[in-house]
Structure formats: structure tokens, C-alpha cells
Structure 1
């Protein structure tokens, strides 16, 4: 059961920092006579939600996202009680006499303690969790918001430059990119400026005209953005987001507040994460709060067509290979100062010394041969 839950958590972008608490929550909901049919994925009462585990975890993920503004960020570094209390707020378990169906509910304290009591050992989560790979570039979060309604392209460019220590004004970038009140025509205009500012990065534009992209295009996108970010360079993406595909936050991120129909927008991809096969990317979004969030890579790949993205094609720096250890005596002998000292000692021990016995090459010859 726990393995199936973990796989479903990954599928719907539920951050692993929540897993232990949610496994305790699952048992608590199963033991709760009133249950919570909206969220209890072991309680199959709510009409319209399938009775399979996947459907209930999806409903849970949607509710976690919906209630984040009320409950606040998940207290990942808090105590077990803090985390369980956060979940009680998410599900609306505030100790009221009954739920919306009129079923009697336990007190909030009892409910919280039930979650805590049923949390599995952290070692079990670690064993189920598998490998997590994450890379997030550092950049000045204060510069992310765009200064006009149509400078999202220059703003994304500004963030990508900032992570390399290059500071440029948005107005200057807008002029150089050729951005007008209609926005930035295509990502290649941004690439041209990045090539000027960061010539060693080899920025390259790729256009995904087919919607949805092919599996090959999608894998190339992942490899390109991973290699670019590993090399220390952000990726500029041109998105088309209809209302049915507004970006949805994962890994505990609040979804950005898109609205007003189809959104044509540039963003900066500044990080990636791979957790047991679930891929996600970190987006610096100049136009919409919270202006920094994780979304699934799968969704990201659907937001780019029919537009494009530009990434740094420079290879990631190879880690330095450890040099073979050098003999301490050899290093000492190769020092000029020490070598001169040895020469002086040799002179003192030379043929004038009755104990000196030459065997062909002298110690002095050996020293200077190094």
C-alpha cells in the first residue's frame, strides 16, 4: 500500500517532505468514523471521484493546492505535531461537532494525534523515496517582476543574465531585443542578446512547432535544460497557456495566478528536479505571483508548442580529477630553496669529510637531476 501511495504522490507532484505525514493521514482517515470523503483516499464515499487510489490522490493533490493560501506553506522542518496540525487545517478538521454530511467528528487534537501516531518511521520513507536529484540556480529574486505588461521577454532575459553576475536594466534589454507593446516576437531575438552578453555559453534556440511535442523532442528538451542548468545557465522559454492548461504548482509550490484567457508569456527556467522518475522544473515567472514555483516537466513541455526555448549548449564543467598523491620528500626536493639547502649540506659532507664515500653520481648530482 505504501509503495502504491508513494508512486501516486510522485505522479501528482506531492513533495516528499509531506509523504510521512500523509501516510499517517491515510491511516487516520481510514480509522475516522466520519471520514473525509473529499480527501480520504482510503474512504470511497464521494460521488464523482473514482474508487481507485489514483483518483483519490489526485483529489488530495488538488485540495492541497487549493488550501495552500489558507493553511500556508507546509512546515517541512516543523515537528510531527506541526505537520499534522497543518493537515488538519487543510482538510477543515477544526474540531467542529460534525462535518458537512452531519457526521460526528473527533476533536482537532484527537485528529492531529491520530495522524502523528500513525506516521511510519522515517527510515521507511527513505527506503521508498529512492534517489532525488535537484539543481537550482541562484539569482536575485527581487528583479523577477516585469516592469511593464509586455516586457516578460526582457525580464526572463534579465534573470538568466543575473545568475551569471551580469546586471542589465530591463529597459536596455527591451530595446536590444526589439520588444514592443506587442511583446517579443520569438525567442531567437533573446538568444541574440544572450550570445552577445554570454558568448561562451553557446545559446541555441529550439522551436517546438508540433503540439504536443514528440517523445524525442520532449527528451531533448529535458536533456538540454538539465545540461544548461548544470553548466550554470538558465533557459528562456516562450509559453502559450490556455485556461485549460495554466501552470499547476507541484512539490508544494502554489500555482501561479494566471487568468484572462490564453496567456502568451516568456519565463526563465532556473532549476530542475528528478525524484524517482518524476521530473519537475523551477520557473522564475515575471508576470504572475508567486513568481517562483515548481511545475511538472510534463506540463512544461506542453506549454512551449508552437513556440520555442533557448538554452546554453556549452558542456557542463567536468569535475576535476584528483591528482595522484606526490611523495612528500619529492615535493621537498623539488623546492628551489630546499634544493639549495641540500646542496649546501652536500658541500659540507663532500670529499673533505673523511666519512664521505663516493659511488659515482653524487647526492648533489641526484638533487639537480630532479
Structure 2
């Protein structure tokens, strides 16, 4: 069964070359077609995440609590291009902030063309009441093992500090129940919890209120965010 954004129009997408967190040329972002995006460098992470540090922290995860899910105020996206405002709002609600999607959209610079990148969600999360968010790029077509490990560490660290993760994804991924979720035009969603020491993540998806939450392996999420990134 394919799970499709019910607001997303049928779009035939031509192959393009994407920047780490933006799009070079014509692309489809956040449920709508967007024009050229500004190429952005990867910001410095908030903690030492060299390969050696990631390996050490992966080992440390098994010593911590195995699972945690945050309480959030879920609200589906109100328009086909409001996935980023809705996902950002869900993340902010874990810390008691429930702005309107219109307010978040203004801060993100969201238009009918969508929202440019995870750089924007990070900026707004920090400005609107979140704290210590940083942006992580997964620049290639598939995530490398070190990037999968980095995502696992980032999710556990963020959730343990009451920060849902906002991911910018594209394409199709399968959850732990075997259901496919397809957003060929791009999408933003929120990670609100983890299990098995971060090997699985709980996703709050603003695009489909009838199936708003599901679990997915962190490996699948990392590949879903490939060529884009996330705010953690």
C-alpha cells in the first residue's frame, strides 16, 4: 500500500542535482514546486561528531534508557504546502509552544513553492522557543553508515532533551509495519520518540491525520532524508 500526500499534485520530476540542504535548479520541495535555492554550507554541529565520537556515542546509547516518546500537540498541515510549518509546530509543542501554522510559515519564509531547507526549520525552532537545534546534512543519494549512526545519536540526544527532530525527506520509505510512505515531491515530518536505543524512531506525519504516527527504522529515515537533512 502506498501512502501518498493527499494534497500533492501529480508531478513528473526530472533528475536534478541537489545541494546538501537546498536545491540547485528546479526542484520539488515541501509538497510544491520551488525555484532555485541558495546553496548553504553545513553548520558546525553542537557536539563533537567526528567518526570516532559517533562510534563512542553509539556504544554509550545502549547504556541509557531504551525508549522515550515526547508528548506533542499534533495538528495536520492546513494546506498542501504547509508541511514544514506543521512539522515545526509539532516540534515546538513539546516545549509548550503552539503558534499557528500561519505564524510559523511566515517565520520559515514558506510560500506555495514550499520551504527551502532544514536550515530554515532549525532557525525557526531556535528563535521560536526551541533551543540548541542544529542542522545536519545528508548530502548524497543514500546515507552512509556513519550518517545513519549520527542520526541515531542525534535523535536520542534531542529527544532526551525534549527536542523533537524535524526531518526534510523525499521519496518513499517503509515503516516497521511494512507500510510505504511516499512523498516524491518532498516533505517535512517530525520525529517525536525513539525505541531500541534509537534504532527505531516514532514519526508524527502532518500530511495524513488518519495515520499520523508510525514507527520506522533509523536506517530507513536516514535514507529518506538523503540529499536533504534534518534539524535536531
Query: Relative to structure 1, is the Cα distance of residues 298 and 180 closer, same or farther in structure 2, using a 3 angstrom cutoff?
Result: same
What are the Cα deviations for residues 20-47 of structure 1, in whole angstroms up to 9, with x where unaligned?
Answer: xxxxxxxxxxxxxxxxxxxxxxxxxxxx
Query: Which among 117, 124, 140 is matched to residue 210 of structure 1?
Result: 140
Q: 8 Å contact 1:254–1:290 — kept in the other structure?
A: no
Q: Post-superposition shift, 1:132? A: 8.4
- What is the SS of the residue equivalent to 2:126? helix
Work out whether 1:281 is the aligned partner of 2:201: yes
Superposition map of 1:1-370 within 5 A: 133-141=66-74, 143=75, 145-198=76-129, 201-241=131-171, 246-250=172-176, 253=177, 255=179, 258=182, 262-274=184-196, 279-288=199-208, 289-311=210-232
Q: Post-superposition shift, 1:256? A: 6.0
Question: TM-score, normalised to structure 1's length?
Answer: 0.43
What are the Cα deviations for residues 229-265 of structure 1, in whole angstroms up to 9, with x where unaligned?
Answer: 0111100000011xxxx23221xx5736537xx2400
Q: Which has the higher contact order (CA 8 A, sep 6+)?
A: 2
Q: Post-superposition shift, 1:305? A: 1.0
Q: Post-superposition shift, 1:134? A: 1.4
Q: 8 Å contact 2:67–2:194 — kept in the other structure?
A: yes
Counting strand residues as a fraction of each chain, which structure ranks higher? 2
Structure 1 stretches of 4+ with a deviation exceeding 6 A read none
Q: Post-superposition shift, 1:300? A: 0.6
Rounded Cα–Cα distance in structure 2 between residues aligned with 1:258 and 1:224: 24
Counting helix residues as a fraction of each chain, which structure ranks higher? 1
- What is the SS of the residue equivalent to 2:67? strand
Rounded Cα–Cα distance in structure 2 between residues aligned with 1:157 and 1:254: 26
Q: Post-superposition shift, 1:163? A: 0.8
**5+ residue gaps in structure 2?**
3-63
Q: Post-superposition shift, 1:135? A: 0.8
What are the Cα deviations for residues 183-217 of structure 1, in whole angstroms up to 9, with x where unaligned?
Answer: 10111111111111236x21100111022222222
Q: 8 Å contact 1:191–1:310 — kept in the other structure?
A: yes
Question: TM-score, normalised to structure 2's length?
Answer: 0.68
Rounded Cα–Cα distance in structure 2 between residues aligned with 1:257 and 1:217: 21
Q: Bigger radius of gyration, 1 or 2?
A: 1
What is the CA RMSD across the aligned residues, in angstroms?
2.3
Q: Post-superposition shift, 1:228? A: 0.3
